[in-house]
Amino acid sequence: MKIKFQYIALISVLALVNGAFAQKKDENLGTEVVNVVKPYTPTVSDAFKVKETPVMEDEDNTQKETIEYNIFSFPVASTFTPSKGRAAGVDRPKRETLYNNYATLGVGNYGTINAELFVTENLNRNEYVGGMLRHLSSQGNIDNVRLDSKYYNTSIDLTYGNRQKDYSWNTDLGYQNQIYNWYGLPLEYQDFDNETIAGIDPQQTYHSFYIGGKIAAEDSFFRDASAQYKRFWDAFGSAENRFFVKPSLDIDVMDEKIKVDFIADYVGGTLADDTEFPNEYSNFNLGIQPSILYQKDDLSVQLGAGLFYTMGKQGDEKDNKFHVYPHVKASYKVVGDLMIAYAGAEGTLRQNSYADFVSQNPFISPSQIVTPTDQKYDIYVGLKGKLANTVAYNIRGSYMNEDNKSLFLNFNPSVLPGPGADLNGFQYGNSFSVIYDQVQTVSFFGELKADFSKSVTFGINGTFNSYSMENQAEAWNLPQIKVGATLDVDINEKWYAGTNVFFVGDRKDLVLPDNTFVDSGAPFNTEVVTLKSYFDLNAHVGYKYSERLTGFLKLNNIANQDYQRWVNYNVQGFQFIVGASYKFNF
């Protein structure tokens, strides 16, 4: 309807305008006669009838059309490849390859050969086997020595281990062969002709066989236990058996921990002598060492005692004793880890054996008395800690009282032959005996260790001892002063080097200054001699050719000191060994 009215209005306006223009243009048309026949009277039938239904376009009444959107996807080829992320500024070091086995061989002057071979292999996740072969030998050739001074030392060790979740155990098997010579003839004190020297056979051979094992448990009152059987014998018929077992327990009671150590140690054997009558001996030590550990804040105290019963036998004589020893230790952190004060009083019954004596002095005679050492107590106080993050120190003072402490003595009356006797190679004043005495020792010890960096480490230590003897005139072959120092440097990735030096003070020994050793009826005219102090400077340098192969050079007794470790036994002078070590895996 709205549109219709607009049309009608427009037509009417146009008509009026047209009529206006027409009248204005034809104002002087003249006159004309018009005859009116009948006036027009419109009727309803003459009206125009609209036949269409108008479309309503009112916006308020128009319904919104529903619109649907569809996405038509299709693959598009792309050559873009994103780069992997990198950690900025981080240099990742090369991972070092670990090798389970190695072989080393070195040769040097004096005909020295040093060889080692170590192999190990995991059988599976829990089991492994391993072996170690060592050899060190020298042809001797020591200056001013009239007898053969060569030595050999070869050993092989085998092991089998088993690691489980709650426990682990291993068993060991080994053999060692050693050859030494009693080359220390007392030429300074005795007069030997060439014929006598040519008839001396100074060689001694030692053999050792052992089998043992150890077991350790986790999360159990049973901590661990170790056991070993060892057979030791020499070329003169001396033989020794030793067996020990040492179980240990950890028991938690309330908030305290109780430790109990058990010891069963047997040694027995037969030592040959010049009279061809064997010297039989045996010592069986049974012991228990219970202790309780108390810890609170910076204080730690362990209180306990050692109870031992020994059954000894020398030939037909028996000697059974019961011993009680203190077992007390305490420590207190005065200034955290920077300063820790500690003190204690400990004693034990220490088993001795022929094999142990040989390991300390291979030039002893095969006729010895073997008895345990009764360490009644060792009372000590000390201070340890750190001077800086990389410098650690330890100082200690102690007073020890030992009964039947073993000492080595050159004067060996047990091997003095009678007139016209056929002498063995150790019966020319060139062997040592073991004697025992009650000894009180006052000792002061100091140590300093420094790790200046990952590449440089340094350490120095010193000990001063003062001895008081019950029966003997001197503490034979025991020095008062010992000092040692070490320095190790990794120069770069390829080169490394190190050095160590040690100093040993004067020692005393007892010798026969004349030929009375060949006549048992003559009085013994003994003389106390002083072995001069000595120092020994050693160094080594190595070059890592690759991860597997490393070359090395070792220098010993660089100052070429002609000193005596034991009386009449000069050591080798300047020594060098050059060799290589190779790592590998199977």
The residue ranking higher by pLDDT, 408 or 27, is 408
DSSP secondary structure of 7-32: HHHHHHHHHHHHHHHHHHHTTT----
pLDDT at 546 over 60: yes
203-217 and 167-181 strand pairing: antiparallel
Of 100, 184, 177, the residue nearest 136 (C-alpha): 177
Of 259, 245, 376, 399, the residue nearest 321 (C-alpha): 376
DSSP 5: H
The residue ranking higher by pLDDT, 315 or 352, is 352
Residue type, position 225, single letter: A
Confidence category of residue 364, pLDDT binned at 50, 70, 90: very high
549-552 long-range contacts (CB < 8 A, ≥24 apart) are: 549/580, 549/581, 549/582, 549/583, 550/580, 550/581, 550/582, 550/583, 551/578, 551/579, 551/580, 551/581, 552/106, 552/578, 552/579, 552/580, 552/581
CA distance 186 to 363: 14
- pLDDT confidence of residue 389: 86
Burial of 246 (C-beta count, 10 Å sphere; 0-12/13-18/19+):
middle
The residue ranking higher by pLDDT, 90 or 461, is 461
Mean pLDDT for the stretch of residues 532-537 = 95
Q: CB neighbours (10 Å) of residue 72?
A: 4
The residue ranking higher by pLDDT, 330 or 414, is 330
Question: What's the pTM value of the predicted model, to 2 decimals?
Answer: 0.81
pLDDT at 212 over 50: yes
pLDDT at 553 over 50: yes
Torsion angles phi and psi, residue 287, rounded to 5? -145, 155
pLDDT at 48 over 50: no
- pLDDT confidence of residue 62: 47
pLDDT at 16 over 50: no
Tokens read off for 20: 């206006």
Strongest mean pLDDT among 74-78, 275-279, 435-439: 435-439
Share of the chain above pLDDT 70, in %: 79
Confidence category of residue 53, pLDDT binned at 50, 70, 90: very low
Which of 72-81, 303-312, 333-342 has the least mean pLDDT?
A: 72-81
Mean pLDDT for the stretch of residues 131-147 = 92
- pLDDT confidence of residue 85: 58
Confidence category of residue 55, pLDDT binned at 50, 70, 90: very low
Mean pLDDT for the stretch of residues 369-381 = 96
Tokens read off for 5: 């009215």
CA distance 92 to 105: 35
pLDDT at 42 over 90: no
Of 515, 526, 509, the residue nearest 566 (C-alpha): 509
Tokens read off for 162: 């088993």
CA distance 328 to 315: 37
- pLDDT confidence of residue 32: 52
pLDDT at 473 over 90: yes
For the chain, the 3-state helix, strand and coil shares in percent, each to the nearest 5, are: 10, 55, 35
Q: Report the 3 state secondary structure along 426-475.
A: CCCCCCEEEEEEEEEEEEEEEEEEEECCCCEEEEEEEEEEEEEECCCCCC
Confidence category of residue 247, pLDDT binned at 50, 70, 90: very high
Mean of the per-residue pLDDT values of the chain: 85
- pLDDT confidence of residue 25: 45
Which of 192-206, 505-519, 565-579 has the least mean pLDDT?
A: 505-519
pLDDT at 414 over 80: no
Mean pLDDT for the stretch of residues 365-381 = 94
Read off the pLDDT of residues 180-194 as tens digits, 9 standing for 90 and up.
999 999 888 777 888
Map residue 360 onto helix, strand or coil: helix
Q: How far is CA 142 from CA 8, 23, 146, 365, 400, in A?
A: 148, 162, 9, 22, 38
CA torsion, points 361, 362, 364, 367, in degrees to nearest 10? 120
- pLDDT confidence of residue 5: 47
pLDDT at 493 over 50: yes
- pLDDT confidence of residue 392: 95
Read off the pLDDT of residues 281-304 as tens digits, 9 standing for 90 and up.
999 999 999 999 998 889 999 999
Residue type, position 151, single letter: Y
DSSP 316: T
Q: Report the 3 state secondary structure along 191-245.
A: CCCHHHHHCCCCEEEEEEEEEEEEEEECCCCEEEEEEEEEEEEECCCCEEEEEEE
